[in-house]
Structure 1
Amino acid sequence: MTHGIEISAGARDALSGWLDHLRALDGAAENTIEAYRKDVVAFLAFLSVHHGRSHGRAALADVSLRDMRAWMAHERAGGLSARSLARALSAVKGFYRWLSDRDGFDASTVLSTRAPKFKAKLPRPVSSEAAAEMIATAGTQAPDGWVGARDAAVLTLLYGCGLRISEALGLRGADHPLPEVLRITGKGGKERIVPVLPAARQAVSAYVTLCPYPVNAQTPLFYGVRGKALSPRPVQKAMERARLQLGLPATATPHAMRHSFATHLLDAGGDLRAIQELLGHASLSTTQAYTAVDTARLMEVYDRAHPRAR
């Protein structure tokens, strides 16, 4: 309820139907479901106040571009950041996409509404303690033990070897047991050699032991629950659940584990050029950005390492 105007039962039923769909088919985490619910409820409440009446399910099809702009202006005036408003708009669009499919109306007005611009940030690295907790949590939260072992193995490869998620999921059964060094083909077909930590070899072996599907030279190394090659989304969802459980920020994504690998190597005295090779970056400037190295730190490495600086 907002200012005495309730959201209609029809609108609430529609919202419940969409959230049930997300739970059943998309496997969205409950915290994510709740965030979507709050965003859409706030939108529906605004429409009720804006028009001075509650909106039934049928009336939701009549939302205009002016309504969308008024809602966004209201949210920004209330202190909502551009990034948070973009997230809320994404939730509203998801709801309208689902509702328009079922009720047969044109939702292009809502779906074409542009999100506010904000500066995209590179994923921030997590601390070494948080990375270890993330891997451990992902390994224990899955309902099936082999799935938890799989998720932990993939995240260990991202953090322990600096692999991209596509590179980890591209490994084949023939790569097991993992050798001490892996030959990885990255972006642009560029090959690199990556050392494999004992912890990564152990995590993959633990997963293979529990995996109900065959792992051999003709198969993928990592499987999804239906016996097909694992896609990135289940790993992203596992990390999202672990992140929420541990209270880590939204920047703690699978790709941030790779960034953490680079940052922690640098913090331990690793050479930027060597880290560039391990990550498979084409230029040193990319490595500098990904490892959150500022100019002063870069000059410190230069002064220490360059023969003419001594």
Structure 2
Amino acid sequence: MDTLHPDLDAYLATLNGVSANTRRARRADLAGMIRWWEDVHDLAFDPALLAERDVRAYLQRRQVDDGAAPASINRALSTGGRCWAWLVRTGRARENPFAAVGAVPQDPPAPRKLDPGAIDALLRAASDEPDLTLRRCNEALLSLLIYAGLRSQEAADVQMRDLDLDGRTVTVRAGKAGKFGRVPLHADAVRLLRRYLTEVRYPDGMPAPGSPAERELLLGVVESTRPGRPFRAGVSTRTIRHRFTVIATRAAAQLRAAAQKEPRMDKAARLLEAADDLVTASPHALRHSLAYRLLDDGTSLAAVQRIMRHSRGEQTLRYATPNERDLKDVIDRSGGV
């Protein structure tokens, strides 16, 4: 069972007359938010530090990234609102950060995506890294996020034995909700991963089948603060987010520079839009982008569901719903009167 802050345990202790299931559900709601907050802020959770912007960011993550049902999200909002109202009444918090956050509409927004130009800019920015080892590490990371649609934790957990480059698959041993799955790899991903393995991980030859080295984590980091900048296997989700941000920032700068040289105003505007999308994107946007690309290429919903490893068809259907950018593009292509 997750350990909560003492003030939250004190609140749960006041819930007299509720069923055991309700008590467990409310505890799980609070525990999930705490784990997210501590992961984002890299701090021990303190109820007094939770702000309204945190609540809204958590809502966005649950709604768009996790694909949680509106009823589940609204229950979590209700739990948080009741808890912090009690914390304010008992002098444990000054404000209720849930008070101004409304319930989630029953029709969730379409997931956020990056257009192909932004994806291409990411790959180009990764290849521009002057340090060869870091360049190959970044390319290997992006190959799993862009072409296989892996979540950050899934990418961090991939072991050497999970990668089958000849068969063009990667195995996810513990995906969302602990699900096992095998994901097909695009030929470009195979090329980037093979180059990473031969130039960084195993320049003297791949490990023998069944050897302990096959259980080593695939991705790793360059320890830039140590002499010689050695490579170390294993990477955290926080490091993945940081590396993505560095690459995305570089890619956005390159797109803005290209926009300044572009004579056509419409193309320049598209480049600037892609740059803006990159600086506010997260690694999970690459997973969303893969699903959109598959559907745009005419892939069936059933096939997309299998590739994305969605447990419910409703999760896949979200990608068939046009977002605001899609609708604007339709209007732009319609031309003037």
The answer to whether 1:248 aligns with 2:276 is: yes
**Cα offset, 1:269, TM superposition:** 0.6
**Residue 134 to residue 117, structure 1, CA distance change in 2 (3 Å):** farther
**Residue 248 to residue 135, structure 1, CA distance change in 2 (3 Å):** farther
1:131 aligned counterpart, secondary structure: helix
**Cα offset, 1:134, TM superposition:** 1.0
**Residue 84 to residue 176, structure 1, CA distance change in 2 (3 Å):** closer
**Cα offset, 1:242, TM superposition:** 2.8
Instruction: Give the ranges of 4+ consecutive aligned residues of structure 1 lying more than 3 Å apart after TM superposition.
Output: 82-87, 112-123, 212-216
1:181 aligns with 169
1:191 aligns with 180
CA distance in 2, matches of 1:279, 1:123: 14
1:205 to 184, 194, 199: 194
CA distance in 1, matches of 2:310, 2:112: 18
**Residue 294 to residue 129, structure 1, CA distance change in 2 (3 Å):** closer
The answer to whether 1:262 aligns with 2:249 is: no
Structure 1 unaligned regions, length at least 5:
1-64, 73-81, 88-107, 296-310
**Cα offset, 1:283, TM superposition:** 0.4
Deviations 1:25-53 (A, max 9, x none): xxxxxxxxxxxxxxxxxxxxxxxxxxxxx
2:238 aligns with 233
Letter in 2 for 1:208: L
**Residue 181 to residue 162, structure 1, CA distance change in 2 (3 Å):** same
Deviations 1:55-111 (A, max 9, x none): xxxxxxxxxx9xx9xxx9xxxxxxxxx869989xxxxxxxxxxxxxxxxxxxx979x
CA distance in 2, matches of 1:240, 1:161: 19
**Residue 113 to residue 221, structure 1, CA distance change in 2 (3 Å):** same
Letter in 1 for 2:182: I
Structure 2 unaligned regions, length at least 5:
1-47, 58-91, 208-212, 224-231, 253-274, 324-337
* TM-score (normalised: structure 2): 0.49
* TM-score (normalised: structure 1): 0.53
Deviations 1:204-234 (A, max 9, x none): 1222233268973131111123424111222
How well do the aligned residues superpose, as a CA RMSD in angstroms?
3.6
The answer to whether 1:165 aligns with 2:152 is: yes
Letter in 2 for 1:254: P
1:128 aligns with 116
CA distance in 1, matches of 2:215, 2:310: 30
| Aligned ranges 1:1-310 → 2 under 5 Å | 114=97, 117=101, 123-141=111-129, 144-176=131-163, 178=165, 179-185=167-173, 186-211=175-200, 216-226=213-223, 227-245=232-250, 246=252, 247-249=275-277, 250-289=279-318, 291=319, 293-294=321-322
CA distance in 1, matches of 2:309, 2:142: 18
Is residue 158–residue 171 contact of structure 2 (8 Å, CA) maintained in 1? no
Letter in 2 for 1:231: S
Number of aligned residue pairs? 194
CA distance in 2, matches of 1:219, 1:232: 17
Letter in 2 for 1:184: V
CA distance in 2, matches of 1:292, 1:240: 28
**Cα offset, 1:243, TM superposition:** 2.5
**Residue 123 to residue 225, structure 1, CA distance change in 2 (3 Å):** farther
CA distance in 1, matches of 2:201, 2:147: 25
Is residue 236–residue 254 contact of structure 1 (8 Å, CA) maintained in 2? yes
Is residue 173–residue 219 contact of structure 1 (8 Å, CA) maintained in 2? yes
**Cα offset, 1:200, TM superposition:** 0.8
Q: Which has the larger radius of gyration?
A: 1
